[in-house]
């Protein structure tokens, strides 16, 4: 009896194994087929290789692992002219490390089931037509380093929970319809290097907690309706080389020692706000400064005389215009 059961067990194993060799991991295959069902393709049929006479690992845009050769570890369908929506079944692809669906015409919501992908390191859903809110569940993606959701129609507030995504390094939310504030909880993202949220409807002030981010290099929050002052803690971040907050309703003065304190600053865009007071005489001493735009503010006094002598700053830089509008990304 036991031998019988054992043989039965072996047989079922064999069936599973040969099934796997033909089609790949069944869990992943079913999840991808559900994903395909939700997507609508262009007439050229980008997903026609996603069929049963073809091993899953040979499907267009699908990459399987080497350690786990039957499991799907990457999905790249960027620039495939895809419409339709992202099926919640994507959350069953539990070995996924990379998702790249950039430059399509996907609609619908971002499924919260993505939060089940604990190996996911890279998520790019940029340049689609995704709607709805950013799911708070994305913060459960405990390996996630890169999250790109820019150029969609996402609305609602940025979830406070995203501040507890443990490994996040790059967060791009530009060109959406996000409202509410930049969550102070983002001060917990100790690995964050790049945060970008330009062209949204964000309000409130820039949280001083961001000044706790030891790795922050790039902060871009232009073209929102932010108010208040730039927190002095942000000016104190030695890692920061790009600071852009143009086209907001910010006010306040610049710290007198900005250029000395901030040796690594390369880009400073403050255009089209209500900043006032003198332009710090120390600014030309920020030797790495390459571009600066202070136009359309209420600065007073004179332009520091030694600006022209700075080696790194372009001579007669048109960016340094008080009257002319910015030619740069604000
Ligand atoms: C299945 O995919 C293969 C590889 O792309 C292709 O040659 C074949 O025509 C497809 N079969 C069907 C029924 O679409
Ligand atoms: C996805 O594929 C495109 C085109 O082949 C490539 O440029 C892009 O880097 C890939 N994405 C990832 C995350 O590897
Ligand atoms: C796959 O995903 C669907 C949709 O989220 C869910 O209902 C189902 O339980 C999942 N299946 C497995 C095996 O995890
Ligand atoms: C967005 O994707 C479309 C293709 O779907 C492409 O034509 C367009 O250039 C992309 N836009 C950006 C800003 O990358
Ligand atoms: C959000 O995450 C929690 C915990 O991981 C999970 O129980 C829940 O099902 C997720 N929600 C969705 C929509 O997947
Ligand atoms: C942006 O959101 C507002 C409501 O918050 C809505 O009225 C408007 O239509 C949205 N715009 C787009 C482009 O989605
Ligand atoms: C995250 O930040 C908030 C606000 O700064 C703080 O109250 C909270 O304790 C932090 N949470 C964690 C898990 O670090
Ligand atoms: C910024 O740094 C200076 C000196 O490096 C220090 O005196 C000041 O207290 C700091 N400000 C904040 C708000 O951390
Ligand atoms: C800036 O540097 C110059 C030397 O290049 C120095 O003479 C000047 O005192 C410095 N200015 C400030 C405000 O530290
Ligand atoms: C600009 O600054 C002057 C004082 O230097 C002040 O009287 C005026 O109200 C300010 N204008 C704006 C729009 O803030």
DSSP string, 280-328: PTTGGG-TT--EEE--SSEEES---GGGGG-SSSPTT-TTS-SSSPPSS
Residues 6+ apart with CB under 8 A from 197: 158, 173, 174, 178, 182, 220, 221, 224
Within a domain: 20 = no
| Residues flanking ligand 10, CB < 6 Å | 274, 276, 298, 300
Atom of ligand 3 nearest to the CA of 31: 1
Asked whether residue 44 is domain-assigned, the answer is: no
In a domain, 11, yes or no: no
Cα atoms in the 13 Å half-sphere on the side-chain side of 293: 24
Domain count, the chain: 1
Let me know if residue 104 belongs to a domain: yes
Per the domain annotation, does 145 fall within a domain? yes
Give the tens place of pLDDT for each residue, 305-315.
777 544 444 33
For every residue of 244-281, DSSP letters joined together read E--SSEEEE---TTHHHH-TT--EEE--SSEEEEEPPT
Q: Cα(132) to centroid of ligand 5, in Å?
A: 17
**Residue at 75 is within a domain:** yes
| Tens digit of each residue's pLDDT (9 = 90 or more) over 259-301 | 887 778 899 999 999 999 999 988 888 888 899 999 999 999 8
* Residue 315 CB-density burial (10 A; 0-12 exposed, 13-18 middle, 19+ buried): exposed
- Tell me if 24 is assigned to some domain: no
Q: How far apart are CA 79 and CA 108, in angstroms?
A: 18
In a domain, 224, yes or no: yes
Q: How far is the CA of 307 from the centre of ligand 9 (A)?
A: 11
What count of other Cβ atoms lies within 10 Å of the Cβ of residue 310?
A: 19
pLDDT tens per residue, range 95-111? 999 999 999 999 999 99
Q: State the ligand closest to the CA atom of 237.
A: 8
Q: CA dihedral in degrees (307, 312, 316, 319; nearest 10)?
A: -100
Tens digit of pLDDT for each residue in 198-230? 999 999 999 999 999 999 999 999 999 999 999
Please give the distance, rounded to the nearest whole angstrom, from the Cα atom of residue 154 to the centre of ligand 2: 23
CB of residue 127 inside a 6 A radius of ligand 4: yes
**CATH number of domain containing 243:** 3.80.10.10
Instruction: Determine the structural domain holding residue 241 and report its residue range.
Output: 60-323
pTM over 0.85: yes
Ligand 7 within 6 A of CB of 188: yes
Alpha helices per DSSP H over the chain:
2-23, 26-38, 232-235, 258-261
């Amino acid at each position: 009896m036991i031998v019988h059961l054992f043989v039965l067990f072996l047989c079922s194993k064999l069936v599973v194994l040969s099934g796997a060799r033909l089609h790949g991991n069944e869990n992943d295959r079913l999840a991808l087929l559900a994903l395909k069902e939700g997507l609508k393709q262009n007439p050229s049929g980008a997903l026609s290789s996603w069929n049963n006479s073809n091993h899953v690992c040979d499907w267009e845009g699908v990459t399987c692992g080497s350690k786990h050769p039957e499991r799907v570890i990457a999905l790249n369908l960027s620039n495939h002219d895809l419409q339709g929506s992202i099926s919640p079944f994507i959350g069953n692809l539990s070995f996924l490390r990379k998702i790249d669906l950039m430059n399509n015409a996907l609609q619908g919501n971002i499924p919260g089931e993505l939060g089940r992908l604990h190996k996911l390191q890279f998520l790019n859903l940029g340049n689609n037509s995704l709607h709805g809110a950013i799911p708070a569940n994305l913060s459960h993606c405990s390996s996630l380093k890169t999250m790109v959701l820019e150029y969609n129609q996402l609305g609602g507030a940025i979830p406070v929970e995203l501040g507890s995504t443990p490994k996040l390094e790059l967060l791009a939310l530009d060109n959406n319809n996000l409202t509410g504030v930049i969550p102070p909880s983002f001060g917990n993202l100790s690995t964050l290097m790049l945060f970008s949220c330009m062209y949204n409807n964000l309000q409130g002030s820039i949280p001083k907690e961001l000044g706790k981010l030891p790795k922050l290099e790039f902060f871009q929050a232009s073209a929102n309706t932010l108010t208040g002052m730039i927190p002095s803690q942000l000016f104190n971040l030695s890692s920061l080389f790009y600071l852009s907050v143009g086209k907001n309703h910010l006010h306040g003065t610049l710290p007198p020692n900005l250029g000395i304190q901030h040796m690594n600053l390369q880009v400073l865009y403050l255009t089209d706000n209500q900043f006032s007071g003198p332009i710090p005489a120390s600014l030309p001493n920020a030797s790495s400064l390459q571009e600066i735009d202070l136009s359309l503010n209420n600065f007073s006094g004179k332009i520091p005389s030694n600006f022209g002598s700075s080696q790194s700053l372009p001579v007669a830089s048109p960016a340094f215009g008080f009257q002319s509008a910015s030619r740069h990304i604000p």
